Each structure stands twice: as C-alpha cells, then as structure tokens.
Chain A
C-alpha cells in the first residue's frame, strides 16, 4: 500500500473541493461536503460536553443549550441529533433544534409528554463552512 503523509489537502482547481472515489469504484464524492463540520457528544443540562469538535462554547439557557461554533457555517446547514438516554427504562426523548444561525444553534430535549428533559444531547453538523 502506498501512503502519503501530509498535514493539509487542498484542491488545485478549487481549494475547498477535492473528489474521492467511492467504495464501489464507479463514482466520486466530494470530500469536503461529506465531512462533519462540527459535532458534540453528551451535551448535558449544565452545558458540559463529553467531547466536541469545532465548538467554541456551550451555554446552559435553563431548558435548552446554545452551541456556538468556533468556525462559522453558512446558514443553511444540516444538524442531525440524538438524545443520549442513559437509563434503559426511560424512553421517548426528542431533541429539537431551533434558533439556527451562522454562528450557533440551540437544542432542547423533550419527553413524549411535552416536558423538558435533561437527557444529554448529541449532534453532528454537515454543510458549508463560512
């Protein structure tokens, strides 16, 4: 196997666009577009995160958290989420995303009866960096 050791990849035609061949060898996909631009694991009710990438800070707003990017996004990005429920007997937690902007978004966790839950939140962000 050949191996290239390098610290930075840049497109020659467009700096922020590099194609990689797909697993089936029949098509290509854009590397930059596929990479998660930010993620956070186990963001709890006190805005403390288990781990994260490209977030400068988390703020506890009481019944929701604000996640603020280190490097801003172009506004129409995609946020996929999950509730990190540690208790196997507790079910039906929903993480709702709101107040999306280029620099931050908010997440609130609900119970199925409409109450607020402090169950930790996980999120991944895909889209374009500003």
Chain B
C-alpha cells in the first residue's frame, strides 16, 4: 500500500482539492437540550450553542458556509420508551451562513427539551 503523508491538502492552485465523488461534513454536533446552555457532548466545526428557551437552539459555526443552501440532517433520541408520545422531532427553523436555529418538538408540535439531539452540516464552506 502506498501512503501519502501531508498535513494540508490543496489543489495545485491553492484552493479546494477534489475528493473523487465524495463530500465530507463541514460540521456536526451532538448536544443535550436539557442541559444548561444546550451543552454539546461532542462537535466539529461548531463555535458555540445558544439556548433560546424550551426546545429552541442556535448552533453557531466556526467557519461560515458559502450560502444558506447547505444541507442539514438531524437525529433524535427516544423519549419515554413504550408510552404514547415516545417520539419527538427536530425541525430546522432559520438557516444562515454562520448559524442554524432548530426546534425540538413533540409530535403535537409543542417545543420541548430532550437529551439527545444530533445535527450534521453538508455543503460548501465560504
């Protein structure tokens, strides 16, 4: 096996190198919505979190995206196993190049804090 060792990869012109038919996430975060200030358990490319109130969060990016048309994918945990209302959803509220506002909702559309929330950002960096 051949191995290329490098700390930074650029195109020959100094820009973004093409990874053949692949695209990496530019940021991701796993956070606890029930904790003070929506504490992140782990993250990449995230500068900070804002807790705007029950089920309402801002995720702030370390590096801006090129525009607000990037893709956001989410994940949520399971709440109160085995009983009605044991599911919830994360919805995208406001998309900006440097931040994302999300809501966590019960299925009756009531905002609620939950312990496991996951978000990944895919698209172009500015």
Contacts and interface: CB of A to CB of B under 8 A. Distances in A.
Interface of A: 1-2, 4-14, 17-31, 33-36, 74, 76-82, 92, 94-98, 100, 108, 110, 112-114, 123-124, 126-128
Contacts of B81: 98
Contacts of A21: 8-11, 14-17
Interface residues of B, number: 54
B45 to A, nearest CB: 7
A125 B89 CA distance: 18
A4 B125 contact: no
Interface string B62-99: 01101000000111111101011111110000000000
A31 B45 CA distance: 11
Closest 4 CB pairs of A and B: A34-B24, A22-B125, A96-B78, A114-B84
Given A79-B118, A80-B118, A96-B88, 16 more contacts: A8-B3, A9-B3, A13-B7, A19-B8, A20-B24, A21-B8, A24-B124, A26-B126, A27-B63, A76-B41, A78-B42, A78-B118, A80-B74, A94-B89, A97-B75, A127-B42
